[in-house]
């Protein structure tokens, strides 16, 4: 049986997000690493490689497909209750020890991570999404920036079928990649993992490209929501949480910030799981920094009203949630508070239909 790396090397095509540097090297600019790559070598992500003077990128397969509630991504200000058809490939440009998708993201680096791949076409994925009743289609499970050309091909078909498109990303983007994605991506979720460059380097990245991308994603008109997995002892000091919240509020107070609970996973088994008190503290810091929409996730029913959306003007509860479940939806067709008519930022549907699913399931 061929090794996984051989299978992946066959499922490629020449990519778009690269340039020639000189006779020996090309540069990939799909992510903030901007790898210069010699003939026969892969970039840091291991899935994009230089062959014959061109950059070959992942194509024609998926390593995971699932029908998720959109609340699981999480997007709380985009089509609440919608089914988000979610697909992923393999590989990542970072190597976070606590990754909850490590089976797909670390498949090339870690022999213990073995995710089967299956051949796919953009047309088949878009069709299956529609058959499942999805309103949205999302590239997730691995870092979508490193498989951006494939995501765009899928999104072209999905848009033609009337679907909303989304990225669930670590945000280590480049201006060129964001320009390439802008026509095809509606929703963009970024994991802001820390506000400390040394911490980001431990995960295999740098802080500055992430911060630059957050500013650009918002300025370019993607619908942006930000998640911080609160990891005790890693990023949960008051000072670091405050720095993250203040940075986001400086871009826009309307960016939803999800502070979510860590549970032991992959190689990070030392810190304690995040407690509800930790999340309440993080959320309070977010509010004090001026953010209008702060959510606490991964502890359903354990964080008071921090799973709900409330009107920042009059305090009226607009969307009530528990976990991935939407219990009540009171926004007007125009996305306004029914009590004081304040416009709530987001990508709302004009009509809220019953939630399609509150838990993930496999299509077909």
Q: Which residues bind ligand SF4 (CB under 6 A)?
A: 28, 30-31, 33-35, 43-45, 48, 93, 146
CB of 94 to ligand SF4, least distance (A): 9
CB 14 within 8 A of CB 55: yes
Q: Which is nearer to ligand SF4, 43 or 297 (CB)?
A: 43
CB of 18 to ligand SF4, least distance (A): 8
CB of 149 to ligand SF4, least distance (A): 11
CB of 41 to ligand SF4, least distance (A): 10
Q: Which single residue is written with the structure tokens 């619908």?
A: 223
CB 91 within 8 A of CB 146: yes
CB of 25 to ligand SF4, least distance (A): 12
CB 56 within 8 A of CB 47: no
Q: CA–CA separation, 39 vs 29, rounded Å?
A: 16
Residue 13 DSSP SS3: strand
Q: Which is nearer to ligand SF4, 43 or 166 (CB)?
A: 43
CB of 172 to ligand SF4, least distance (A): 8
φ, ψ (nearest 5 deg) of residue 127: -65, -45
Q: Which is nearer to ligand SF4, 30 or 306 (CB)?
A: 30
Q: Which is nearer to ligand SF4, 16 or 275 (CB)?
A: 16
SS3 content of the chain, % helix, strand, coil (to 5): 25, 25, 50
CA angle 155, 117, 164 (to 5 degrees): 20
Contacts of 346 (CB under 8 A, 6+ apart): 77, 78, 223, 335
Which helix (H) or strand (E) covers residue 221, if one does?
Answer: none
CB of 272 to ligand SF4, least distance (A): 32
CB of 34 to ligand SF4, least distance (A): 5
Q: Which is nearer to ligand SF4, 44 or 185 (CB)?
A: 44
The dihedral through the CA atoms of 21, 26, 30, 32 has a sign that is negative
Contacts of 202 (CB under 8 A, 6+ apart): none
Q: Which is nearer to ligand SF4, 209 or 256 (CB)?
A: 209
Which helix (H) or strand (E) covers residue 293, if one does?
Answer: none
Q: Which of 198, 277, 191, 202 is nearest to 236 (CA)?
A: 277
CB 238 within 8 A of CB 226: no
Q: Which is nearer to ligand SF4, 65 or 89 (CB)?
A: 89
DSSP-assigned states of every residue in 24-60: SEEEE-SSTT--EEETT-B-TTSSSEEETTEEEEE-S
Around Cβ 345, how many Cβ atoms within 10 Å? Answer: 16
Q: Which is nearer to ligand SF4, 45 or 282 (CB)?
A: 45
CB of 11 to ligand SF4, least distance (A): 16
Q: Which residue sits closest to ligand SF4, CB atoms considered?
A: 43
Q: Which is nearer to ligand SF4, 150 or 348 (CB)?
A: 150
Q: Which is nearer to ligand SF4, 35 or 217 (CB)?
A: 35
CB of 90 to ligand SF4, least distance (A): 12
């Amino acid at each position: 049986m061929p090794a996984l790396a051989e299978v992946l090397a066959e499922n490629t095509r020449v990519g778009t997000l690269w340039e020639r540097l000189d006779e020996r090297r090309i540069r990939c600019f799909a992510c903030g690493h901007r790898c210069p790559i010699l003939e026969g070598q892969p970039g840091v992500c291991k899935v994009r490689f230089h062959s014959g003077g061109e950059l070959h990128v992942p194509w024609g397969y998926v390593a995971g497909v699932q029908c998720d509630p959109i609340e699981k991504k999480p997007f709380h200000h985009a089509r609440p209750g919608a089914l988000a058809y979610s697909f992923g490939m393999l590989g990542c440009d970072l190597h976070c020890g606590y990754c909850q998708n490590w089976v797909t993201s670390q498949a090339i680096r870690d022999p213990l991570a073995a995710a089967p791949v299956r051949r796919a076409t953009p047309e088949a994925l878009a069709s299956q999404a529609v058959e499942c009743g999805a309103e949205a289609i999302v590239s997730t499970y691995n870092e979508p920036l490193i498989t951006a050309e494939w995501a765009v091909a899928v999104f072209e078909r999905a848009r033609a079928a009337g679907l909303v498109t989304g990225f669930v990303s670590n945000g280590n983007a480049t201006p060129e990649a964001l320009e390439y994605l802008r026509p095809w991506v509606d929703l963009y979720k970024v994991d802001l993992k820390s506000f400390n460059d040394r911490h980001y380097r431990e995960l295999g990245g740098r802080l500055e490209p992430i911060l630059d991308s957050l500013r650009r994603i918002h300025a370019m008109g993607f619908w942006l929501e930000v998640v911080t997995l609160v990891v005790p002892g890693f990023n949960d000091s008051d000072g670091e949480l405050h720095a993250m919240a203040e940075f986001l509020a400086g871009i826009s107070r309307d960016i939803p910030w999800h502070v979510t609970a860590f549970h032991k996973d992959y190689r990070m088994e030392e810190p304690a799981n995040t407690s509800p008190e930790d999340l309440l503290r993080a959320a309070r810091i977010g509010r004090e920094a001026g953010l209008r929409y702060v959510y606490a996730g991964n502890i359903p029913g354990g964080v008071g009203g921090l799973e709900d959306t409330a009107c920042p003007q009059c305090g009226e509860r607009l969307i009530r949630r528990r976990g991935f479940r939407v219990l009540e939806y009171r926004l007007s067709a125009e996305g306004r508070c029914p009590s004081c008519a304040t416009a709530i930022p987001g990508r709302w549907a004009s009509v809220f239909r019953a939630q399609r699913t509150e838990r993930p399931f496999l299509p077909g």
